Amino acid sequence: MRSLNLKYPPRFALSSHVDNHLVLTAQENCRIELFVLAEDIIRVLVLPDGETHGPRSWAIAPGAEDVALEGRERRDMSGFVPPPFSVSNQAGQVVIKTARVRLTVTLAGGFCAWDILHDGTWHRVMSDRKTQAYNFGWWDQRAYHYIERRNDEMYVGLGERAGSLDRAHQSYEMRNIDAMGYSARTTDPLYKHIPFYVTWQPQASTGFGLFYDTLADCRFDMGRELDNYHGHYRHFVAEHGDLDYYFIASAGTPLNAVRRFTWLTGRPAWMPKWGLGYSGSTMSYTDAPDAQHRMGEFIDKCREHDMLCDSFHLSSGYTSIGPKRYVFNWNHEKFPDIEGFVQSYLDHGVRLCANIKPCLLQDHPAFEEVAKAGLLIESKHGDPAWVQYWDEVGAYLDFTNPDTINWWKARVKDALLKYGIAATWNDNNEFEIWSPDAIAHGFGNAFPALQAKVLQTHLMMQASHSAQSEHSPDKRPFLVSRSGGVGMHRYVQTWSGDNYTSWETLRFNLKMGLGLAMSGVSNSGHDIGGFSGPAPGPELFARWVAFGIFLPRFSIHSWNDDGTVNEPWMYPEVTQQVADLIKLRYRLIPYLYELLWQSHSAYEPVLRPMFAEFPHDPRCLVDSDDMMLGSSMLVAPVVDAGQSTRDVYLPAGSRWVSYWSGEAFDGAQTVTLPAPFERPVFLLREGSVVPLNFAEQHFGRPADERAFIAAPPAGVGAAQGTCVEDDGESQAWRNGEQGHWNVTLTGDANALTVSVEREGWMQQPQAQVRVFVPMHETRAIVCANGTLSADHTADGWRCLTIALPH
């Protein structure tokens, strides 16, 4: 961007209108391009000198599962079906109106004002600041966007930020960094780069999402900054590139913006079901000199304590030479029989997810070969661009070079997948490149690597995903990545990085996960018990497990300062409670699997803040330690020491049923519920039907029996729920080998009619199914299909056993 040094804001004129693409131009070649992409999505591209300066986009993938390795041209309109809209150009303004959004551009300065139609009325929801909203050469080469700020607004999103869920009055940096031992309350920046957030205005029940399509390091100020010359404002600043943003209308509920943003940036991955099981992990096992033996001890302990387990995350110690780690190198002293080791885990139904890192240390066995082939990020002088990486100097692989991608995929296959390793754990992939002299290949158009660090992370994930797909095309890939950006949900499950062990972290990790979900990334979790710092005490560990079982990712992982290991059996006094909690997790997997299917198929967020699910209840606008798991389940973890009960506010407009007692409570009140370690507080929302796995399960002996737990309305009304069924691992679902349960309970004053329908493919059709209703439900039961073969009560619930027709 060249400096224009304009004394006054430029005055624009509508110079072009072709289909859904409008162009406004002004003196000095200033240019604003508008793209009407949907009735609720309009894109704005501000070009102070008329030229684009950012690279292609790897974020925009409307409804797609992938993008090309080389990215998407900035003006590529594929995937969008432009809506009907009108344009007027008079009185110094251009007005664009769809069925849901009205954009008014004031030609003197190019200032934008946005209105949303809600309940038949247009509501002004956002206005550019009237002074210097954009950078038309006023200051430097960065891209700026200044917006007027209201006092009644909430801001949520920006990925996994520390602190409160509402981002108002704070500022945040997007600069991927390895923040080991971070404070979940204060540390910034962190691991991910997701420049999207939702603004919610409770009084009007309207809001919108803003997505800034940039790969640059950037900063968001949400009202922390104050400057007397400009009034109240918030702003976005990118270190380079273009101001290129998408406005997404969200009337009625803030979840609409999340759904549409997720659609805009690609379909979430449909991963194997085993990825929802407990995943063991610790640094100490693979760091031990007898690592293979120590890994065997983990299996023995799982069997001894009957801890259900589906996978193990193999930490990077398996690659060590001395004290350092070398990606794709197997330490044969630690693992003398790789094939036997992997098979021993598979024999017990436990898959291995191997840690891989994108940086080669300078003494890596393959360094010279890789450097000579030009596969590393290089300095402008042609030598490797050196970076600090753990306790050594190394150089990052350059994933904007197709040869690097091919080399990486070959290593993933040859070093890992051929032995039976099931998945890749893409770790330490923040690409901390700070030198302007480091150059990326750029698919043939070289650029300073620091301008798109998160692109390297993205392409690494994409390459790992591609390697797994090519090796086992009939299986769904499972990948994990610590770092990432917009679009990562198309490939990986993620977690909140190397958290510090404390009660405070437990409380704020909950909010971090909600922030990720409201940013389009639902398949996430945390290192249970804390990764860095002291070992958790028995109470903190048990409470963390009791929270973690409700998240899509459930992994206990640690590198404790005192050398101890976070394991399910680390404290004998709570080992049985932990085992029971993990079995409860497995009971809930059908519901979690259904929620991930809804995320994949309908872009629904899995985790939801209370205010997002209940935007009209003022009590839900207050920051709390509760969350919704889908739309049916309220989860209230204990996040303070010494508590035996939990106070829970129940949102208005619904009755709520305790999972443990079957007791029903009216909404709009706070109740106090018992909270022993093994019985975390969660409730079903009236009108919900939740699928369960009611089979008795033991380690190494998986079993599955579908059952449903329901909370029917007390009077006239219905409860509904669905559950997806497939083989849990293959791609056969794409060819129709997938089925669904549809369960409905319809009631009136005298009877409750139960309908259980199965449609599509079922791997193991059940002859009967159990449906649980609260014990206070005394109405007569009528089966719309099937036959009621048993009806008894237990533990606060009335169990209906229904024989299904063949």
The CATH number assigned to the domain holding 792 equals 2.60.40.1180
Contact 223, 232 (CB under 8 A): yes
What tokens were used for 564? 């101890």
Task: Say how far apart CA 310 and CA 487 lie, in whole Å.
Answer: 27
Q: What's residue 2's pLDDT?
A: 47
Does residue 185 form part of some domain?
no
Does residue 197 form part of some domain?
no
Q: What's residue 6's pLDDT?
A: 61
What proportion of the chain, given as a percentage, has pLDDT over 70? 99
- Whose tokens are 């997404």? That residue is 248
Does residue 649 form part of some domain?
no
What CATH number did the domain enclosing 477 receive? 3.20.20.80
Confidence of residue 4 (pLDDT cuts 50, 70, 90): low
Q: 347 burial class (0-12, 13-18, 19+ CB within 10 angstroms)?
A: exposed
Q: What's residue 28's pLDDT?
A: 82
State yes or no: pLDDT of 198 exceeds 70: yes
What are the tens digits of pLDDT across the range 476-513?
999 999 999 999 999 999 999 999 999 999 999 999 99
State yes or no: pLDDT of 373 exceeds 90: yes
Q: 693 burial class (0-12, 13-18, 19+ CB within 10 angstroms)?
A: buried
Q: What is the mean pLDDT of residues 197-213?
A: 97
Domain end (from 546, 571, 596): 571
Q: What's residue 1's pLDDT?
A: 41
Q: What's residue 396's pLDDT?
A: 98
Whether 564 and 711 share a structural domain: no
Does residue 34 form part of some domain?
yes
Confidence of residue 166 (pLDDT cuts 50, 70, 90): very high
pTM (2 decimals)? 0.97
Q: What's residue 5's pLDDT?
A: 57
What tokens were used for 363? 């003494």
Does residue 373 form part of some domain?
yes
Q: What is the mean pLDDT of residues 588-617?
A: 98
At position 489, the amino acid (one-letter code) is H
Among the residue ranges 49-58, 333-342, 401-410, the one predicted with the least confidence is 49-58
Q: What is the mean pLDDT of residues 605-621?
A: 97
State yes or no: pLDDT of 86 exceeds 70: yes
Using alpha carbons, select from 779, 781, 774, 772 the residue that is nearest to residue 799: 772
Q: What is the mean pLDDT of residues 435-455?
A: 97
Whether 409 and 555 share a structural domain: yes
- Whose tokens are 């994933």? That residue is 399
Task: Say how far apart CA 214 and CA 99 lie, in whole Å.
Answer: 28
Q: What is the mean pLDDT of residues 281-295?
A: 94
Domain end (from 548, 571, 594): 571
Write the DSSP string, 316-335: GGGGEETTEE-TT---TTT-
Contact 518, 156 (CB under 8 A): yes
Using alpha carbons, select from 594, 585, 517 the residue that is nearest to residue 550: 585
Domain end (from 518, 545, 571): 571
Task: Say how far apart CA 736 and CA 739 lie, in whole Å.
Answer: 8
Check residue 621 and report its DSSP letter.
G
Does residue 514 form part of some domain?
yes
State yes or no: pLDDT of 560 exceeds 80: yes
Q: Which residues contact 160 (CB under 8 A, 6 or more apart)?
A: 190, 191, 192, 496, 497, 512, 513, 515, 516, 524
Q: What is the mean pLDDT of residues 456-472?
A: 98
Contact 571, 541 (CB under 8 A): yes
Does residue 383 form part of some domain?
yes
Q: What's residue 138's pLDDT?
A: 73
Does residue 13 form part of some domain?
yes
Q: What's the total number of domains in the chain? A: 3
By residue range, what is the domain housing residue 485? 273-283+309-571
Task: Say how far apart CA 567 and CA 295 lie, in whole Å.
Answer: 13
Using alpha carbons, select from 736, 602, 600 the residue that is nearest to residue 270: 600
Confidence of residue 108 (pLDDT cuts 50, 70, 90): very high
Q: Which residues of 549-576 are buried (b: 16+ CB within 10 A; e: fewer)?
A: bbbbbbbbbbbbeeeebbbbebbeebbe
What are the tens digits of pLDDT across the range 112-145?
999 999 999 999 999 999 999 999 877 888 999 9
State yes or no: pLDDT of 3 exceeds 70: no
Q: How far is CA 659 from CA 633, 685, 686, in A?
A: 9, 10, 12
Average pLDDT, the chain: 96
What backbone phi and psi angles, to 5 degrees, belong to 734?
Answer: -65, -20
